[in-house]
Amino acid sequence: MVAQEIWVEKYRPKKLADIVGQTEITERLRIFVKEKSLPHLLFAGPAGTGKTTAALCIARELFGEGWHQNFLELNASDERGINTIRTKVKDYARTMAIGDVPYKIIYLDEADALTPEAQHALRRTMEMYSQTCRFILGCNYSSKIIEPIQSRCAVFRFRRLGKKDIANVLKKIAKSENLRLTDGAIDAIVYISEGDMRRAINILQAASATAKEITEKTIYDVSATAHPEEVKEMIKLALDGKFEEARERLLNLLIGRGLAGDDILMQIHRQILDLDLPELVKVKLVDRMGEFDFRLTEGANERIQLEAALAHLTLLGSRLRS
C-alpha cells in the first residue's frame, strides 16, 4: 500500500538542532533565534540541503505555535516579477507582527529566479520595512543575487550532505516505516541523490511502494537510473575497441530502459573519474564530455551524441593501445 503522506514533509525537522549535515550553520542560526535578533538572511546552496527547512525551523522557534501568522513563504520562480514585490511582499512587510517578536518573516525560495528589476524593488523594501519584517532568501546560485541585496544579508552557504548524514536519516525512516533496508540500497540512494536529502527520501518512499525489503536493484529500478557497473562496463567495452557491443549497451539504456540521454552522459562523466587511466587522458575525456553535454543542452539528437561519445572513447582506446 502506497503511503498517503509525503515523507519529505512527514520527516522534515521541526528544530534547527535536528537538521543534519549543516552543524556550523544551525549553531549560528540558533544564536540569532535565542537573542531574537535576526538579520536578513541569504541561504545559498544545492537543492535538498536544508535551506527551506532551516527557514521553517527559525519561524517555529521564534513564534511558537502561531508561527503561520508571522511567516510568509513565496516561491520566487513562480512569482518573479516586480509587481509581486510591490504588492504581495510590500503589503505583508508593512504590517506589524503578532506576538512578542517585533517582526515577521518573509521567505523567498529560489530568489535567484527574480528578475533584476524585482531584485532592485526588493532591495528597497528590505531597507524600508526592516523594523517590521525580516527577509530570508533561498537560492541555488548566490551569484545571481544582486550585490546590494547580498550586502544587506548574512550569507549562509549550505553544502551537499555526506553519505553518513543521508544514511542515518534513511535508517531512521526505514525503522519508523518498518522497512528492511540493505546496505547496498543505502549506497545506491547515496549515489543517485548526490547529497540531495529530499531526493534521497523520495527515492526511498517510491521503493517502499514495491516491497518491504528494499535492495540495491529495487532502488535503481524505481529511480530509472543505470547501475554504475553497467555504465562502467559500457565505457570499458568502448575503450577496448568493442564499439558495437558498447553501442548495444547504450541502446538498451536509451530505448530498452527509457533513460534520458543527459542522465546517461552524467553517469559516464562520473565513471570516467574512477577509471584506471592517466590523469591527462581523464582531463581530455572530461573536456570532451562537457562538449557533448553542451550539444545536448542546445537540442542535438541524444542518440547521435552519445554514440559519438562512445566512438570518441573507442578511438582514444586504440591510441592508448598503440
What pLDDT is stored for residue 62 in this prediction?
93
What pLDDT is stored for residue 100 in this prediction?
86
Residue-wise DSSP of 144-195: GS-HHHHHHEEEEE--PPPHHHHHHHHHHHHHHTT-EE-HHHHHHHHHHHTT
Q: Can you read off the three cell numbers belonging to residue 283?
A: 582531463
CATH topology of domain 228-321: Zinc Finger, Delta Prime; domain 3 (1.20.272)
Domain boundaries along the sequence of the chain = 7-157, 163-222, 228-321
What pLDDT is stored for residue 1 in this prediction?
39
- The CA-to-CA distance between both ends of the chain, in Å, stands at 58
Same CATH topology for 163-222 and 228-321? no
CB 125 within 8 A of CB 94: no
How many residues make up the chain in this entry? 322
Q: Can you read off the three cell numbers belonging to residue 159?
A: 553544502
Residue-wise DSSP of 262-279: HHHHHHHHHHHTTSS--H
Q: What b-and-e string marks burial along 248-277, b requiring 16 or more CB atoms within 10 Å of the CB?
A: ebbeebbeeeebebeebbbbbbebbeeeeb
Q: Can you read off the three cell numbers belonging to residue 268?
A: 559516464
* Helix, coil or strand: residue 109: strand
- What is the H or E stretch that residue 316 is in? helix 302-321
CB 49 within 8 A of CB 22: yes
pLDDT one digit per residue (tens) for the chain, 322 residues: 344 678 999 999 999 999 999 999 999 999 999 998 899 999 999 999 999 999 999 999 999 988 999 999 888 666 666 767 777 788 888 888 888 888 999 999 989 888 888 888 888 888 888 889 999 999 999 999 999 999 999 999 999 999 999 999 999 999 999 999 999 999 999 999 999 999 999 999 999 988 889 999 999 988 888 899 999 999 999 999 999 999 999 999 999 888 899 999 999 999 998 888 889 989 999 999 999 999 999 999 999 999 999 999 999 988 887 7
pTM listed for this prediction: 0.86
- What is the H or E stretch that residue 232 is in? helix 228-239
CATH 3.30.365.10 fits 7-157, yes or no: no
Looking at domain 163-222, its CATH architecture is Orthogonal Bundle (1.10)
